[in-house]
Amino acid sequence: MMFDWNYLFSLFSFSDFWWASWTVVKLSLASWVLSIIVGFVLALGKQSKLVVFNAPSKFYIWLFRSLPLLVLLIFVYNMPQLFPSTGGLLSDPFWAGLIAMVMCESAYVAEIHRGGLLSIPKGQSEAARALGIRFAGAQWLIVIPQALRVALPSLTNEFISIVKLSSLVSVISLTEVLMVGQRLYTQNFLVLETMAAVAIYYVLIVTVFDFLLGKLENYLDVTKRKTTKQPSAEFIEQVKNAPAATITPTTSYDGPALKATKLHKAFNNVEVLGSVNLSINSGEVVSVIGPSGSGKTTLIRLLNGLEQLDNGAIDLNGQPFLKLLRSSPDKTRFVENAELRTQIGMVFQSFNLFPHLTVLENLMLAPRYHKMGTRKDLEMQAYQLLYKVGMLDHVWKYPHQLSGGQQQRVAIARALMMRPQIMLFDEPTSALDPEKVNEVLQVIEDLAQEGITMVIVTHEMSFAFKVSDRVVFMEQGRVVCDNSPQVLREGNNPRIESFLKDVSLT
């Protein structure tokens, strides 16, 4: 028997095929979108440290990745036999098919999402936390948009799989492309021609959506965006002449702006910080120096709660911020006054800007989240801070379009947007090229001259001794010396003298 080309071409004007193709599109799109949503919930649950979320998520993913979709389709479609109340919904093959496909596919999509979530650097969540953004807000505003971008190629591939798997719903009598083809070739026995048409319809659907999703992937890829917009001279003049925004709020408290008492931290039973006390007065600049591994970074991460205390307490302006409550010798509970978190600004050594947001959006995100003012007022404040750190010309650029020094200056401005009582700097120049170090140090020095309270962990000895009111020297997790730069220069402490012997402090 010869292949009937005329019959094959006639099938592309057959309305039943086009209606069946529309059913496939609706079913596939709905299954994909719902699976993405459910899959995210499952991925977050599987990553949770709480058993109440972790265990059910793991069980769901294990179970529905093990069950064949065909078995699940038949089971869901016949569910009304066990639960008659579901008959109104599940007696419709479309809804039964949709529910079964979502149950099955969400387990696979959850693992795709988990891969995307794991690819997002930990520093992104830490930066969000340092800005006072809670877990749900950090996930929605920062982590999920980036994870979706990473996972989109795999999600596109999963959509194509869903389109092909939709052919299985014919087993529950849903009129989709394969079922229409089956009905035709049982009538005319032209199996090859009919199945060739079925294949072409599926290829057409996949090709169209593969093209559209490719466009979406390119749109979401900020690294392919080119920002040519520059602020005008008139705009810059307007920012310069606007009333100066308040960088740090005033406080009536006469005591220390920050007081840390008997801080202790160990990792894997190895003590990193032991019984450290530190008091910072309002307007004071304190630099923390010492050899690598002395506990400097751990100290500054404890001060804003990025690491949990093993012992001790931290107060801000006389109010308890972080502490441990002991209900018994073996049971402790970490307590944080989350309302005070926005009073501490944090600048990281690795910048931790949000790569999917522009410079302006990086500065605006947290203040808008905390509803600290109108959009117009916050924008003007952001422009002023960017002008202060020399970054107003780059206001509409993305982080990847900036040098390391420029990114760090934006990070400083982002922290200042929260109008913190105290600023923490964790080795702000360690990730920079030598030629970019000075531009960041100059910004910090300017802030010091404005009376902003600061704690700076740094290896830049000359800078530390120049701008600091006090220098804290740490070694082996303890404070060896806490005194003015002048006293440390005199060389009364043999260990400090040895540490600084090759350093020019002029």
Q: Is residue 38 included in any domain, yes or no?
A: yes
Q: Which residues contact 368 (CB under 8 A, 6 or more apart)?
A: 375, 378
Q: Are 444 and 389 in contact (CB under 8 A)?
A: no
Token readout for 232 is 């005008």
Same-domain pairing of 179 and 277: no
Domain of 437 in residue numbering reads as 258-499
Same-domain pairing of 279 and 157: no
Q: Is residue 369 included in any domain, yes or no?
A: yes
Q: Is residue 247 included in any domain, yes or no?
A: no
Q: How far apart are CA 344 and CA 418, in angstroms?
A: 9
Q: Is residue 245 included in any domain, yes or no?
A: no
Cα dist from 290 to 41, 79, 276, 440, 481, whole Å = 44, 68, 14, 21, 10
Strands 470-475 and 285-289, by their bridges, are parallel
Same-domain pairing of 216 and 262: no
Q: How far apart are CA 263 and CA 277, in angstroms?
A: 7
Question: Which pLDDT belongs to residue 475?
Answer: 92
Q: What is the pTM of this model?
A: 0.87
Can you give the CATH number for the domain in which 24 is found?
A: 1.10.3720.10
Closest Cα to residue 352, out of 130, 37, 191, 188? 130
Same-domain pairing of 214 and 280: no
Give DSSP secondary structure letters for 46-94: HH-S-HHHHHHHHHHHHHHHHS-HHHHHHHHHTGGGT-GGGHHHHTSHH
Please say which residue of 201, 220, 239 terminates a domain. 220
Q: Is residue 446 included in any domain, yes or no?
A: yes
Same-domain pairing of 82 and 185: yes
Can you give the CATH number for the domain in which 433 is found?
A: 3.40.50.300
Q: Is residue 252 included in any domain, yes or no?
A: no
Report the number of distinct structural domains present in the chain: 2
Same-domain pairing of 421 and 281: yes
pLDDT tens for the chain, 506 residues long, are 688 899 999 999 999 999 999 999 999 999 999 999 999 999 999 999 899 999 999 999 999 999 999 999 999 999 998 888 888 888 899 999 999 999 999 999 999 999 999 999 999 999 999 999 999 999 999 999 999 999 999 999 999 999 999 999 999 988 889 999 999 998 888 899 999 999 999 999 999 999 999 999 988 888 887 776 788 888 888 888 888 777 776 677 888 999 999 999 999 888 999 889 999 999 999 999 999 889 999 999 999 999 999 889 999 998 999 988 876 666 778 888 988 999 999 999 999 999 999 999 999 999 999 999 999 999 999 999 999 999 999 999 999 999 999 999 999 999 999 999 999 999 999 888 887 888 899 999 988 888 889 999 998 888 999 999 999 999 999 999 999 988 888 767 788 888 887 676 65
Question: Which pLDDT belongs to residue 254?
Answer: 83
Same-domain pairing of 16 and 114: yes
Q: Is residue 350 included in any domain, yes or no?
A: yes
Same-domain pairing of 319 and 210: no
Same-domain pairing of 327 and 440: yes
Same-domain pairing of 204 and 282: no
Q: Is residue 359 included in any domain, yes or no?
A: yes
For residues 42-56, b (16+ Cβ closer than 10 Å) or e, as one string? bbbbbeeeeeebeee
Same-domain pairing of 278 and 215: no
Same-domain pairing of 373 and 454: yes
Question: Which pLDDT belongs to residue 227?
Answer: 72
Beta bridge partners of 270: 267
